[in-house]
Structure formats: structure tokens, C-alpha cells
Amino acid sequence: MLSPSLDCLDIDLLVLPETNLILIASVIEPLRGANRISGSELYRWRLFTPDGAAVMTTSHIPVPADSVFKPGAERAPLFVLASYNWRNAATPALKRLLSQSARHRSMIAGIESGTWLLAEAGLLGNASATAHWEDFEDFALAYPQVRAVKGRFVIDGKRITTGGSLPTMDLMLEIIRRRQGYSLALEVSRLFIYEQAGFRGEAQLSPSTAGLSMRDPRVAHAVRLMEENVEQPLVLARLARRVGISARRLQALFQASIGAAPHVHYLALRLNAARRKVIETRATFAEIAASTGFNSASAFSRSYRASFTESPSGTRRRLRGYSGGAEK
């Protein structure tokens, strides 16, 4: 599940009653966004509940299920979602089904309070795991065999755990990044932030920083400069000088904040801007190359194919119904 791939990944979700609606959305919406942006069915999902009936969320909005959770030999990753009062649904029968399912699943994830259910079913063993910050100390005391880690999400072998709704979105972006690359994960993250009209605070996140850890204002400043200079990219030394630090320091801050070097992030911004132009406009590829900082259409095409595994003309043919109007 975490290796580079363009194959469609099926994910099964076991949703317990009184799960937060936003927790369910935090799993599904990044996957939906990845499908929409890529124009491909990269992800599919099915929802299961303990009894097969629609599950009532804490918002009093029922979420329909595809089926009752009755595992066979499915190998698809299983995400166990729970928020409040998870113990009410954690019957011996359900824990037994989870244990049976784990024999075949390629990965099992405990999402928020789902971590507790995995531990109750004996599926965490001595693995590292995290839990919601409100319950973290209780979790660590209840399951001393589990290595409790304070983190937004933890990936340990075939087990994944998250500490809440927004950390779950971080996890889904990380899955997309590992499978389809940094550029797609960055573009998906842009779907989940907006800018209030008439307000531009210095610490405000830009659209490209959603889902990214922008703890250091110098990194946020550098990202804003990148976004403002897509057509004529700034070299690293000049970018660092405008931020007020050395190039080596800027590289270290980027790696610590978002897990990517400045040039990787900058190229992803430019390629995402280019792909939007490929999809949404009839501009020639030479025009798109010039507007996104590439020296030539051929250099742009090589970078585009390396990132998106298809040529710009291939994208247009695929997403515009092979209209024949694509530029060569």
C-alpha cells in the first residue's frame, strides 16, 4: 500500500457508531481528491459496519454501509474508524472478526479511537502506536505491551494508527505521496484550505501549504516566494537571501518542516500549475513551459512525464475525450 504505484488501491473502512463525520471524511476526501485531480481511479473504498446498517455519526447524520463486516480472505487494507463510546461496539464477536481479518489484510489502520479497538483485539502486539491526545496517557497505561508514541500518525510495519481527524488527513496525504508522488499529494492538500476575503495575515497558510507542517515562518515565507515566482523561478541562493538565511539552513528547515527539499517543493508547485493549464486551457505546451519556468517545451515535457507518468499531450487526450485538439 505504501509503495509507488499507479494501480487502483481498494480500501475497506469499518465504521463504528458515534464516529465523527469529519473523521470519515478525513479518510475518504483526500482519496476522492486524488482521483479527481489525476483523472484516474487511483482509489476505491467500501464502508462496513458491525451490523450492516447505516452507522449514526456524532452529527446525527447516518452514513450508509455497503455491507456488514464479515471478513473472508480480503487482502485490501482495513481502516477501523471510531470516535466516542467505541467499547459499546467492541463485542467479543467483533474483536474475533478483526483478528480473523488481520490474517489476510495487507495493512490494518486504527483511526482515532480505532487504535483502542486494535489493541483490544490483540492486533498491536509490541508495535508502536498513537492515540488521541485526550486519551493518550490512558491508552499507554491500558496497553503496556504497545509502544505508545506521541505523534499525529504512526506507521509500523502492517499497522497504522492516527491521533485524530486532521492527523488522519495527514496520513492520507502521506499515503498519496508514497504511492503517486509529492506533486499529487501537494495538489490534493490545496483542496482543503481557503483564504478569507480581505485578509492576508503574515502567518496565514497559502493554498499549497494545507496538510504541510509549516511550523517555521521562514519556510512559509519561502513557499510564498515560490508561489509568487513560478514563471521565473528563484535560484536557491536568492530564495534563501530573501528569506534572510543561508541556502544550507533553508534546505535543513524544509526537510524538517515538510520532509522535502526546497527544489522538490518548487518543482512540484510549477508542475502542478502546468498541469492545471494543460487540463483547463488550450495553451500550447511551449506557452505553458514558459509560464511555469521551463526553458523549453521539451524540458517541460520530460519533467511532466517523470512526475505524472504520462506526457502533457497524453493528459489532454485522456481527459478531453481524445478531441484531437491537443497541441503536439
**DSSP state string for 175-199:** HHHHHH-HHHHHHHHGGG----TT-
Whether residue 243 is contained in a domain is answered as no
Per-residue model confidence as pLDDT tens digits over 203-212: 333 434 444 5
Give mean pLDDT, residues 32-40: 91
Band the pLDDT of 196: cuts 50, 70, 90: very low
Q: What is the pLDDT of residue 319?
A: 79
User: Does 110 reside within a domain?
Assistant: yes
Determine phi and psi for 279, rounding to 5 degrees. -80, -40
Task: With respect to residue 93, please indicate whether it lies within any of the assigned structural domains.
Answer: yes
Q: Environment class of residue 286 by beta-carbon count within 10 Å: exposed (0-12), middle (13-18) or buried (19+)?
A: middle
Residue 222 has pLDDT above 60, yes or no: yes
Q: What is the pLDDT of residue 327?
A: 40
239 Cβ contact partners less than 8 Å away, ≥ 6 residues apart: 222, 225, 226, 247, 250, 262
Mind listing the pLDDT tens digit for each residue in 144-159? Answer: 999 999 999 999 999 9
pLDDT at 191 over 90: no
Q: Give me 192's grid cell.
A: 482543503
**248-285 residues labelled b (16+ CB within 10 A) or e (exposed):** eebbebbeebbebebebbbbbbbbbbbbebbeeeeeeb
Residue-number span of the structural domain to which 30 is assigned: 9-180
- Radius of gyration over alpha carbons of the chain, in Å? 22
Asked if residue 176 belongs to a domain, the reply is: yes
pLDDT at 72: 80
Cα(113)–Cα(134) distance, integer angstroms: 11
Neighbours of 291 (CB within 10 A): 17
For range 211-229, the mean pLDDT: 81
* pLDDT average, residue stretch 115-127: 94
Please, what's the largest Cα pairwise distance for the chain? 64
How many domains does the chain fold into? 1
pLDDT above 80 (res 17): yes
Evaluate whether residue 128 is within a structural domain.
Answer: yes
In a domain, 126, yes or no: yes
What is the Cα–Cα distance from 143 to 315, expressed in whole angstroms?
50
pTM of the model: 0.82
Note whether residue 191 is domain-resident. Answer: no
pLDDT of residue 321: 58
**Given its phi and psi angles, is residue 35 left (phi above 0), alpha (psi -120 to 50 degrees) or beta?**
alpha
DSSP for 33-92, please give it. HHHHHHTS--EEEEEEESSSSPEEPTTS-EE--SEE----S--S-EEEEE-S-GGGT--H
Q: What is the CATH number of the domain that holds 22?
A: 3.40.50.880
Q: Is residue 326 within 8 Å of residue 316, measured between CB atoms?
A: yes
Q: What is the pLDDT of residue 73?
A: 82
Q: Beta partners for 108?
A: 78, 159
Give per-residue pLDDT as tens, 270-314.
Answer: 999 999 899 888 999 999 999 999 999 999 999 999 999 899 999
